[in-house]
Chains A and B, each alone.
Chain A
Amino acid sequence: AQSVTQLGSHVSVSEGALVLLRCNYSSSVPPYLFWYVQYPNQGLQLLLKYTTGATLVKGINGFEAEFKKSETSFHLTKPSAHMSDAAEYFCAVSDRIQGAQKLVFGQGTRLTINP
């Protein structure tokens, strides 16, 4: 069974600082990988995804993530945090073999930006 672990339920950085949100997955085969962002009382918005090809994936709002098979990781980064980045971030995986139907989510990381 697939699983996703996000290290750190809460991350706090200063405005302009590097953002690093960690995600590790467990899967028998490399899955499809996603990062979603959720603002209060809203649904989820896709930031980026990895399916195949280049392991460094660029997404919206200046975020990027790198798929590292050897480390079973898909950490999310942004070089310079902005106040508007404060939100909940979810890493998710879906089974490549089963046609990528269901998503399994990590526990989420709440990102706080300090002025």
Chain B
Amino acid sequence: GAVVSQHPSRVICKSGTSVKIECRSLDFQATTMFWYRQFPKQSLMLMATSNEGSKATYEQGVEKDKFLINHASLTLSTLTVTSAHPEDSSFYICSARVPLAQQGSPLHFGNGTRLTVT
């Protein structure tokens, strides 16, 4: 149980275009999802917390106008990288936690999306 699906797994786009990444909780409803970014050979950095039905909470230094997050349903959150530039090339990973789970319950991660901006 507790499967998180992320799509696409890999995308290549041209500089200046926008890319949408989807994150779905397949067998549970996720009121909160988390978006992480991972540069090559580095750790995961939390970008934002996506809340169903409300605005996302962005971490310091993350441009909210560039990384648009929409959490319109209990099973879907989307991250749109707007006007992508080569420096946005990275591995983006979403995660979610089963609601009403005990404190200390783990996050469940999608398989990530490798974005390459040319």
Q: Which residues of A contact B (CB under 8 A)?
A: 9, 32, 34, 36, 41-46, 49, 51-52, 90, 94, 96, 99-108, 110
A-B contacts besides A44-B109, A102-B34, A108-B41, 10 pairs, CB < 8 Å: A43-B6, A43-B110, A44-B107, A45-B109, A46-B107, A49-B106, A96-B103, A102-B49, A103-B95, A107-B43
Q: Contact string, B24-35, partner A, CB cutoff 8 A, digits 1/0?
A: 000000001010
Given the known inter-chain contacts A43-B4, A43-B93, A43-B109, please indicate yes or no for A107 contacting B34, CB distance below 8 A. Answer: no
CA distance A38 to B108 in the complex (A): 12
Main secondary structure of the interface of A (DSSP, over half): loop
CA distance A100 to B97 in the complex (A): 10
- Which residues on the B side are within 8 Å of A52 (C-beta)? 104
CB distance from B116 to the nearest CB of A (A): 12
Q: Which residue of B is nearest A9, CB measured?
A: B41
- Which residues on the B side are within 8 Å of A110 (C-beta)? 41
CA distance A108 to B44 in the complex (A): 9
Contact B104 A105 (CB under 8 A): no
Number of B interface residues at 8 Å Cβ cutoff, please give it: 29
CA distance A63 to B36 in the complex (A): 25
Given the known inter-chain contacts A42-B111, A44-B93, A49-B104, please indicate yes or no for A102 contacting B32, CB distance below 8 A. Answer: no
CA distance A99 to B45 in the complex (A): 19
- Which residues on the B side are within 8 Å of A107 (C-beta)? 42-43
Give the contacting residue for A41; candidates B4, B43, B112; CB below 8 A: B112
B54 at the interface (CB under 8 A from A): no
Give the contacting residue for B43; candidates A32, A45, A46, A106; CB below 8 A: A106
User: Which residue among A52, A100, A104 has the maximum number of chain B CB atoms within 10 Å of its CB?
Assistant: A100
26 pairs of residues in contact across A and B, judged by CB atoms under 8 Å? A32-B103, A32-B104, A41-B91, A41-B112, A41-B114, A42-B111, A43-B4, A43-B6, A44-B93, A45-B109, A46-B108, A49-B106, A51-B102, A51-B104, A90-B44, A99-B103, A100-B103, A100-B104, A100-B105, A101-B49, A103-B46, A103-B107, A104-B46, A106-B43, A108-B41, A108-B43
